[in-house]
Amino acid sequence: MDKRKFIKQVGLGSAAIMASPFIFTSCDSSSDEEDFKMWMWVGNGADKTETEWRNQLTRLSELGFYGVLAGGGVETLKMTVPIAKSLGLEIHSWQWVMNRPGNKEAMAHPEWYAVSRDGNSSLDVNPYAGYYQWLCPSKPEVQDYIIQGMIDIAEVEGLNGVQLDYVRYCDVILPRGLWEKYDLVQDHEMPQFDFCYCDTCRGKFKAEQGYDPLDLDDPSQDEKWRQFRYDSITNLVNRIAKEVHQRDKKLSASVFATPNLARKFVRQAWDKWDLDFVFPMIYYQFYAEEIDFVRTGTMEGVEALAGSKPLYTAQYLSEKTSEDIAIMVEKAKAGGANGIAFYDYGLLNDEKAEVLSALKK
Ligand SMILES: [Zn+2]
């Protein structure tokens, strides 16, 4: 029997559901069909009525989903958490971290934004897309603002956890499959996409290492400057983790496909973060890879984590056939994933849902 349904039937509360990943992953769970968990991102948090939320979460519960990564702030969560709990679904709050487009509080502090190597603030010049407005991870005021926001979320009663998204730098290099879309050949790090060169970041780095990255002939080749930026994000994530864990909530993050690619493209050293589980977005088409990249990418992440935490392979439902869905699930399993997460609910038509339902049975 499906364990989630079992827990629901015997009437155990959320504590048992929350504890289940740790009970079952301690004994090679990834090979156990029953433990392969399905997650779904469900967005447009504040724009939906309670009835719409209830209908969508009910459908996911009936399809055998384990949990949802739900959009919306504190007020929306107060509505959605009880619904998810009544259906036996885990619910984690989906939160954007460093990229904060149109954020009123941040915009009142223009100095909070990340600065590119060619000197532009991400508030004024948006790299790649209009919704790209990145904050600087080194400024104490930015860190305090982000952490307080996560504390407010983590204090929502009954919530299972917080899931971090955009917890990284702006893409210094885009995955290969996206170059044509932006008419770019990114065979090296370009100054307009390379962050953060604000006074705070450069000053902090200089105090530690004795030189300013802007004085280097080619900052992209400097190992210490790269490491400084991996650490800036890692330190912030680990501070968030401490606060979230103090409130008895889980912390997870959606990250780039593999630890190596995540470092190279967006300076995420996610295998070093204090997370409870991780969602690598192995969107193979973005990387101009075949579908087998779902398996090999998953394997890389599983090996890097070395059993320290569950890994749920994230997949993008756009431009996928029902057959693709079935193959993605098989590839994620073959790579050793503990489950799969789909982005997003709006792309789950009946045909795709039927495939997932059949796989679960
Ligand atoms: Zn900075």
Instruction: Kindly report, residue by residue over 278-290, the tens digit of the pLDDT.
Output: 999 999 999 999 9
C-alpha torsion angle, residues 114, 255, 233, 154 (rounded to 10): 100
CA angle 310, 257, 267 (to 5 degrees): 105
The SS3 of residue 91 is: strand
The SS3 of residue 255 is: strand
| Weakest-pLDDT range from 9-23, 209-223, 231-245, 305-319 | 9-23
Q: Would you place residue 344 in the very low, low, confident or very high pLDDT band (cuts 50, 70, 90)?
A: very high
Contact 124, 112 (CB under 8 A): no
- What share of the chain has pLDDT > 70, as a percent? 90
Spatial CA neighbour of 66 closest among 339, 346, 351, 359:
339
Spatial CA neighbour of 198 closest among 110, 269, 97:
110
Arithmetic mean of pLDDT, 150-173:
98
Element housing 65 (H / E): none
The CA distances from residue 215 to 8, 200, 210, in Å, are 61, 16, 11
Per-residue pLDDT for 29 more than 70?
A: no
- Rounded-to-integer distance, Cα 14 and Cα 320, Å: 34
Position 64, amino acid: G
Span from the CA of 203 to the centroid of ligand 1 (angstroms):
9
Q: Would you place residue 302 in the very low, low, confident or very high pLDDT band (cuts 50, 70, 90)?
A: very high
- Rounded-to-integer distance, Cα 266 and Cα 301, Å: 16
Arithmetic mean of pLDDT, 295-317:
98
Per-residue pLDDT for 19 more than 50?
A: no
- Rounded-to-integer distance, Cα 302 and Cα 288, Å: 22
Spatial CA neighbour of 117 closest among 188, 205, 220:
220
Span from the CA of 273 to the centroid of ligand 1 (angstroms):
20
- Rounded-to-integer distance, Cα 324 and Cα 299, Å: 19
Span from the CA of 247 to the centroid of ligand 1 (angstroms):
29
Span from the CA of 198 to the centroid of ligand 1 (angstroms):
4
Arithmetic mean of pLDDT, 336-340:
98
Q: What is the reported pLDDT for 172?
A: 95
Contact 182, 192 (CB under 8 A): no
Contact 102, 126 (CB under 8 A): no
Structure tokens belonging to residue 100: 């904060």
- Rounded-to-integer distance, Cα 312 and Cα 278, Å: 6
The SS3 of residue 219 is: helix
Structure tokens belonging to residue 137: 């991870």
Span from the CA of 214 to the centroid of ligand 1 (angstroms):
13
Q: What is the reported pLDDT for 45?
A: 76
More confident residue, 263 or 27: 263
Q: What is the reported pLDDT for 139?
A: 98
Span from the CA of 121 to the centroid of ligand 1 (angstroms):
10
The SS3 of residue 292 is: coil
Span from the CA of 226 to the centroid of ligand 1 (angstroms):
13
CATH architecture of the domain 1-96+276-361 equals Alpha-Beta Barrel (3.20)
Q: Would you place residue 34 in the very low, low, confident or very high pLDDT band (cuts 50, 70, 90)?
A: low
**210 in the Ramachandran plot: left (φ > 0), alpha (ψ -120 to 50) or beta?**
left
Per-residue pLDDT for 25 more than 90?
A: no
Per-residue pLDDT for 300 more than 80?
A: yes
Structure tokens belonging to residue 249: 């909530």
Structure tokens belonging to residue 346: 């709006």
Arithmetic mean of pLDDT, 149-157:
98
Element housing 145 (H / E): helix 140-154
- Rounded-to-integer distance, Cα 203 and Cα 223, Å: 17
Q: What is the reported pLDDT for 20?
A: 38
CA 266, 269, 270, 274 dihedral sign is: negative
Provide the mean pLDDT of the chain: 91
Place of tokens 């994230």: 314
Per-residue pLDDT for 3 more than 90?
A: no
Span from the CA of 314 to the centroid of ligand 1 (angstroms):
29
Structure tokens belonging to residue 159: 């919530």
Q: What is the reported pLDDT for 46?
A: 78
User: Residues with Cβ < 8 Å from 9, sequence gap 6 or more?
Assistant: none
Per-residue pLDDT for 4 more than 90?
A: no
The SS3 of residue 93 is: strand
Q: What is the reported pLDDT for 31?
A: 46
- What share of the chain has pLDDT > 90, as a percent? 87
Q: What is the reported pLDDT for 33?
A: 57
pLDDT, tens digit, 9 for 90 and up, residues 193-228:
999 999 999 999 999 999 999 999 999 999 999 999
Burial grade of 321 (CB within 10 A; 0-12, 13-18, 19 or more) = exposed
Span from the CA of 224 to the centroid of ligand 1 (angstroms):
16
